[in-house]
Amino acid sequence: MFSLKRNRSDTKPKSNNPLSDFPSKSLSFKPLRLVLSYARHYTLILSITALCMILLVGVQLLIPWIIKILISSVTELTDFPQTMGLITRLSLLVLLIFIVRAILQFFRSYLAHIAGWGVVADVRKYIYEHMQRLSLQFYEDKQTGQLMSRVVNDTDLFEQLIAHAIPEVFVNGITFIGVSIVLFTLNWELTLLSMIPIPFIVISMQIYARYVRPAFRQRQKELGDLNAMLNDNLSGIREIKAFTREAEEMKRVSLGIDRYRQSLLRALRLMATFQPFVEFTSSLGLLIVIYFGGKLALQKTLPIADLVAFFLYLDLFYQPVRNLSNAWEQVQGSLAGADRVADLIKEEPELTHFPQQYELVNRAAGAISYQNVSFGYTPENPILEQINLEIPAHQVVALVGPTGVGKSTLVSLLPRFYDVTAGCITLDGQDIRAIKLDSLRQQISIVLQDVFLFHGTVRENILFGKPDASEDEMLSAAKVANAHSFITELSDGYDTLIGERGIKLSGGQKQRISIARAVLKNAPILILDEATSSVDTETEVLIQQALERLIVGRTTIIIAHRLSTIRNADKIVVLDGKHIVEMGTHQQLISRDGLYRRLYTVQTHINAIQRHETDI
């Protein structure tokens, strides 16, 4: 029996998600809240950025006032040398202001980008961490390209919000308030008249937001679809060439590109409508000031210098309004991306969470028990019903039966790729749901029929089973898997790049590397999902030898299609129609007139025909 250590401080999985601080009811969070929750880590940087922006506003407000002083001094010229000295001092002051403005613009831009890309990096890390916690059932109807688009493309828009849109809104809001105060000091009546277009612009922004965010969201969806399509086609390029589907796939990808272009143009059309409206409306304010300001100047109630300053400040007054229209577009685009990211984050892991979970301290003995286990991907369509199966430690159990009866699903329940919908599975008498997930899976090695190797070297793929293994341990594992000899014959031996999914290797070579990976992991429980079904006879012998070495001292579950490979199993379990229909040794099952005997007889007959044809 293994020892259990209660995980007292971690009864609930920890997460670096800032949203975990909020109550569960708030998980219907608004997208803006989602983005800002990650920005909290950069409060100091954003505070310095805000200070720079406030100083920038103050610096910009000085320029028109200096020009007002200059015009007043020139028009009221009394002493030429004294006035010229004032002009010189004002010029030097403006030069200093420009230098300070350049320095502040640098810090405002760079610090905002540090915060923006920091938020993007944090969100991406959390999304990936979150996706790793989701069960395999979540991925079964998802395209890899779509998920990649949410991790990369949608989060990319957060930088626009943090580094561009929000600073723009902030600085332009301050500018608007500051300029308004200055304008009121110059002439309050003219200032109120110049504000007439503002309500129309605010209303237009609300209407714009209602339509443009769905357009941006659709744009991001089409981009995700395009990424998914390209990912599928590039992964399946060999099949496309083999079936001469280049022209058809080109049409399909072209349609995807056109759909993305059209969705993008729909969003841009709304933007192209909104911006001119804001420009036109703000220009009406200038028209009002020209008329009424000119009238006041003509009536001598407004000094010329004040009128010129009013016009200069008026440009600063409407500039924030125009800039806000651009920032509003970025806000809506970013929130559309945040909508899609929020949908992904709200996906909850489908595995049952026990309030108290334990960590395995010692190596498990490997006794497994399926007790009244039922499972279905949907409640109304069960795949397995009332499965009862005892697997003593260190025994070899084979699962057989027609295709589609749930053999792979049954073994997938053990490492909790899925959770049972009824009953329970125990490991050494402990419900596996009460064991921490990573601790449970460390006790299990899996060798699949469809081997997945990562792009990298042979060494990296073997060490995937135990990254801290020594060179001798890795070499020993490769030898046990009958892989050492062919690896040493590769161009760079263990440092040979094998390509994506191990494309440079044969099926048998990939299989032996996966076995070496399992050997190196050295887990007490081994799952073999028909590891020899798609290789030639000679390679099968090598793999079978490797597997015989691997299963020694381990609890082994074998999913078998070639029944000749499991004759020596301690127990053979026959599944059919959602249930276990037979169980026993090979000899016991052959002596009965059941499903196993019929399957074995058919396979023996087919093998005899194949050997006869080979002899001919």
Mean residue pLDDT across the chain? 78
- Segment 143-167 mean pLDDT: 77
Q: Are 487 and 450 in contact (CB under 8 A)?
A: no
Position 13 pLDDT exceeds 60? no
More confident residue, 472 or 149: 472
Position 449 pLDDT exceeds 80? no
Q: What is the pLDDT of residue 19?
A: 46
CA 358 distance to own-chain centroid: 29
Span 298-353, pLDDT tens digits: 777 777 777 777 777 777 777 777 676 667 667 777 777 777 787 777 777 766 66
More confident residue, 74 or 53: 53
Buried b (16+ CB within 10 A) or exposed e, 166-190: bbbbbbbebbbebbbebbeebbeeb
Model confidence at 47, in pLDDT bands (50, 70, 90)? confident
Start-end of CATH 3.40.50.300 domains in the chain:
364-443+524-616, 451-522
d(CA 2, CA 359): 10
The dihedrals phi and psi of 418, each to the nearest 5 degrees, come to -135, 160
Q: What is the pLDDT of residue 21?
A: 44
Tokens at 315, concatenated: 């440009």
More confident residue, 310 or 103: 103
Closest CA to 513 of 544, 540, 553, 484: 484
Q: Are 71 and 308 in contact (CB under 8 A)?
A: yes
Domain 451-522 adopts which CATH fold? Rossmann fold (3.40.50)
d(CA 216, CA 211): 9
Q: 364-443+524-616: which CATH number, 3.90.1300.10, 3.40.50.1580, 2.170.190.11, 3.40.50.300?
A: 3.40.50.300
Q: DSSP letters along 135-194, please?
A: -HHHHTT--HHHHHHIIIIIHHHHHIIIIIIHHHHHHHHHHHHHHHHHHHHH-HHHHHHH
Span 492-514, pLDDT tens digits: 888 888 877 777 788 778 888 88
Q: What is the pLDDT of residue 408?
A: 85
Position 612 pLDDT exceeds 60? no
Q: What is the pLDDT of residue 79?
A: 65
CATH (residue range 18-345): 1.20.1560.10
Q: What is the pLDDT of residue 92?
A: 85
Tokens at 453, concatenated: 């190797």
- Segment 587-604 mean pLDDT: 85
Q: What is the pLDDT of residue 11?
A: 39
- Segment 166-183 mean pLDDT: 78
- Residue found by looking up tokens 């209602």 in the block: 210
Q: What is the pLDDT of residue 371?
A: 92
More confident residue, 9 or 333: 333
Position 196 pLDDT exceeds 60? yes
Closest CA to 330 of 32, 77, 48: 32
- Residue found by looking up tokens 């590039």 in the block: 234
Q: What is the pLDDT of residue 615?
A: 55
Q: What is the pLDDT of residue 8?
A: 39
Q: What is the pLDDT of residue 307?
A: 72
Closest CA to 512 of 305, 230, 489: 489
Position 12 pLDDT exceeds 50? no
Q: DSSP letters along 485-512, please?
A: HHHHTSTTGGG-B--GGGTTS-HHHHHH
Q: What is the pLDDT of residue 370?
A: 93
- Segment 6-24 mean pLDDT: 43
Model confidence at 181, in pLDDT bands (50, 70, 90)? confident
Using alpha carbons, list the distances in angstroms from residue 351 to 387, 505, 514: 19, 36, 27
| DSSP at 302 | S
In the chain, % of residues over pLDDT 70: 86
- Segment 76-93 mean pLDDT: 73
Contacting residues for 204 by C-beta, under 8 A, at least 6 apart: 274, 277, 278, 281
Q: Are 284 and 196 in contact (CB under 8 A)?
A: yes
